[in-house]
């Protein structure tokens, strides 16, 4: 299948693009939304490209690129009573939440901010603009390419 494109949100205070650059690779734990889970569990493939978005930042925006390094497997934090992501209804036999691993690719030469994205007609159909609170979302190749081009200008 052709490479697909995604966007993931992360609060830089929690885990920023710099943290990902330092670590090289990480597991994307803590996603507790069924739409986002289904995308990770069923659609994300190794090698897919991922726009890395800083939410709750000033300004919020796309700051880098990552790629899917491992396809979905159960998110271990759901089984951990001490984790804030613990889910008492999940069992090892029947996990409810899944995650993927993502690897650092590069930081954008310049962040592309949310206001800028909102001002760009060709990006007006992005899920980011039209649906609040989805932390893993699909992106069109044309949108991905345009954001990269904007970051270089």
**Which positions lie near DNA, rule CB under 7 A?**
9, 32-35, 55-57, 59-60, 114-115, 118, 131-135
Pick 2 or 133: Cβ nearer DNA: 133
CB atoms within 10 A of CB 43: 17
Residue 34 Cβ vs DNA, minimum distance, rounded to whole Å: 4
Q: What is the distance between the alpha carbons of residues 32 and 82, in angstroms, rounded to a whole number?
A: 16
Pick 56 or 91: Cβ nearer DNA: 56
Pick 44 or 126: Cβ nearer DNA: 126
Residue 45 Cβ vs DNA, minimum distance, rounded to whole Å: 23
Closest CA to 4 of 136, 124, 151: 136
Residue 29 Cβ vs DNA, minimum distance, rounded to whole Å: 12
Residue 33 Cβ vs DNA, minimum distance, rounded to whole Å: 5
On whether the CB atoms of residues 105 and 146 are closer than 8 A, the answer is no
Q: Is 13 exposed, middle or buried (0-12, 13-18, 19+ CB in 10 A)?
A: exposed
Q: Is 101 helix (H, G, I), strand (E, B) or coil?
A: strand
Pick 4 or 135: Cβ nearer DNA: 135
């Amino acid at each position: 299948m052709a490479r697909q494109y995604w966007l993931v949100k992360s609060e830089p205070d929690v885990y920023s693009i710099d943290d990902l650059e330092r670590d090289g690779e990480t597991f994307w734990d803590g996603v507790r939304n069924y739409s986002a889970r289904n995308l990770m569990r069923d659609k994300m493939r190794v090698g897919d490209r991922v726009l890395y978005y800083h939410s709750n930042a000033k300004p919020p925006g796309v700051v880098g690129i990552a790629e899917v390094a491992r396809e979905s497997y159960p998110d271990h934090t759901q089984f951990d009573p001490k984790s804030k992501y613990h889910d008492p209804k999940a069992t090892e036999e029947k996990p409810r939440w899944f995650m993927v691993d993502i690897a650092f690719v590069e930081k954008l030469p310049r962040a592309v901010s949310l206001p800028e994205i909102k001002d760009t007609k060709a990006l007006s159909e992005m899920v980011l603009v039209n649906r609040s609170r989805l932390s893993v979302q699909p992106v069109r190749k044309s949108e991905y390419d345009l954001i990269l081009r904007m970051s270089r200008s």
